[in-house]
Structure 1
């Protein structure tokens, strides 16, 4: 399969936080500490890189603070940009607008902290946009782990209290008259309770026993 042709109309946006001690995942860090939280986040970043690197799509990593030229994100597979905006909604909106301005037909955004997200999930989401105008991956905490669309809709990024359990429902209300499909609900990682019984995280939690 020709990579250029296969990826020409699909764009994956990966929103990530620069992995630095004492930044990010503050609710998790409150229980397990900054060092363990940083190691878990690096583990999740590696997982996200692993499941996205072979996806037939253009891929852009959007860093929270600054571009790191030599890190886990292969410069030959990923473009790199910095998030721009006053809040998460504005930063996501700007990333989508930039993608659509470049002529992409389908754009999907994900974060970088979903252990139970796979390459096939992303392929399913892009395929869903053949039939639907919007695709949403609901998170069990009331947010979402994936959002995809074929046309930009600004309401999706306005009037949300980001990081709360109202985000998913408010988002679905914005597109209730649109052709929308939902993926399987998944659990993202914000609290110790989200990871304490998952074997993949045991190496990072030995100090909690």
Structure 2
């Protein structure tokens, strides 16, 4: 049986445009670096699965954090531009474009769940190969994975409001309600999300990036204390 295509939907991690909610805590440059680390971790795991990988990309990669590393990771993969107005339409079009005549189905993820394991993809792929829709629910009410045995089913996403507290439930409803559900995971939307996710994958680029920021923040706090008292407290 032919393996499905693994579709990664990604946005160039440009400071000021990437992970803006994370940036409220750690600043634009750190948020972009975290987004880049998440994307690189996601691509490393995705390519390890052994399926065809397509990356639907938007944004100016030349302005992105870790641009050279990302270009290198993308080099052996098929990269397609996102097209459409709004996230829902871009997702539907990405499924159609990634399929490119294949009838083996699509397993789609975003770039902000770097804690995924190869086993997560394989579970989704087996479900799709058996002809069922599979959804990976997120703790915020959205979803981190969507597997479709027929890529044309993604057209139903255009009627779903994305990034809402009920996006997951509305996606399942739009797809007919009969889906297989994977484990629930946390998306990386805030700094607290990044810290928690990094703790689940200690050997990863996202964990390294979070550790550097925590160390930098601790050093800054110590410097502030020294400046105020004249000596370390």
Residues 128-185 of structure 1: CA distance to partner in whole angstroms, max 9, x if unpaired?
113342000001111000001012225531232211211001011123443x201000
Q: Is there any run of 5+ residues in structure 1 with no aligned partner, and where?
A: 1-5
Is the contact between residue 67 and residue 80 of structure 1 (CA under 8 Å) also seen in structure 2?
Answer: no
Is the contact between residue 7 and residue 109 of structure 2 (CA under 8 Å) also seen in structure 1?
Answer: yes
Q: Distance in 1 between matches of 2:217 and 2:53?
A: 37
Residues 39-87 of structure 1: CA distance to partner in whole angstroms, max 9, x if unpaired?
11121112112101222211111111257796142422x1011100101
Q: Distance in 2 between matches of 1:16 and 1:98?
A: 15
Q: Distance in 1 between matches of 2:168 and 2:107?
A: 16
- 2:226 aligned partner: none
Q: Distance in 1 between matches of 2:216 and 2:3?
A: 46
Residue aligned with 2:17, SS: coil
Q: Distance in 1 between matches of 2:26 and 2:46?
A: 28
Q: CA RMSD in A?
A: 2.2
Q: Distance in 1 between matches of 2:184 and 2:5?
A: 22
Q: Distance in 2 between matches of 1:127 and 1:164?
A: 29
- 1:3 aligned partner: none
Greater gyration radius: 2
- 2:147 aligned partner: 148
Q: Distance in 2 between matches of 1:65 and 1:120?
A: 30
Structure with the bigger percentage of helix: 2
Give the alignment's TM-score, normalised by structure 1. 0.86
Give the alignment's TM-score, normalised by structure 2. 0.78
Q: Distance in 1 between matches of 2:108 and 2:120?
A: 13
Shift of 1:99: 3.4
CA 1:39–1:45: 2 relative to 1, 3 Å? same
Residue aligned with 2:49, SS: coil
